[in-house]
């Protein structure tokens, strides 16, 4: 007769995504992304140009939401890497000369015309009012 154990198996994830992106400085992009990763995510540098992020979530809706968040974080990481690359010594020399009332330089942050929001994760919740009204 087999012995009993108290071991519980974690449910297998229902949703998985692997996102591969190419960058001039993949290590910098990966370092910028990692602090925002959840326990269900892993970001690695696969080769000299590629960042790979693997996401596993228990629900498809959770996966969709996590991928949406990741895309926004990726855009910020790419902007940070671009700013670091373009600064002569990897930092912004204007920081010490500015104060809180100074507007950022026009080229300091790139505003994307198409936000990364892909829409609602699920339309199954009919009790939520539009725009939280």
pLDDT score, position 88? 77
The mean pLDDT value for 28-56 works out to 95
Mean pLDDT of the chain: 73
pLDDT score recorded for residue 91: 54
Residue 53 token pair: 């992020």
Mean pLDDT of 75-89: 86
Going by pLDDT thresholds of 50, 70 and 90, the confidence category of residue 128 is very low
Q: How confident is the model at residue 45 (pLDDT cuts 50, 70, 90)?
A: very high
pLDDT of residue 70: 95
Q: For residues 1 and 67, which has the higher predicted lDDT (pLDDT)?
A: 67
Looking at the predicted structure, is the pLDDT value of residue 73 above 90?
yes
Cβ neighbour number for residue 31 with a 10 Å cutoff:
15
pLDDT top residue among 49 and 110: 49
Q: What is the pLDDT of residues 100-121, one digit of tens each?
A: 444 445 554 444 454 454 444 4
Domains along the sequence of the chain with CATH: 12-92 (3.30.310)
**Strand pairing of 50-57 and 41-45?**
antiparallel
Whether residue 83 contacts residue 108, with contact meaning beta carbons closer than 8 Å, is answered with yes
Helix or strand holding residue 78 (H, E): helix 60-86
């Amino acid at each position: 007769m087999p012995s009993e154990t108290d071991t519980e198996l974690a449910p297998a994830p229902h949703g998985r995504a692997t996102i591969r992106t190419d960058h001039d400085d993949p290590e910098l992009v990966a370092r910028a992304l990692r602090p925002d990763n959840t326990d269900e995510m892993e970001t690695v540098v696969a080769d000299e140009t590629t960042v790979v992020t693997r996401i596993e979530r228990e629900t498809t809706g959770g996966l969709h939401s996590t991928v949406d968040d990741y895309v926004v974080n990726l855009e910020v990481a790419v902007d940070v890497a671009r700013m670091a690359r373009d600064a002569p010594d990897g930092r912004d020399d204007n920081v010490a000369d500015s104060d809180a009332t100074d507007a950022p330089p026009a080229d300091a942050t790139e505003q994307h015309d198409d936000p990364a929001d892909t829409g609602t994760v699920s339309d199954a919740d009919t009790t939520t009012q539009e725009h939280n009204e």
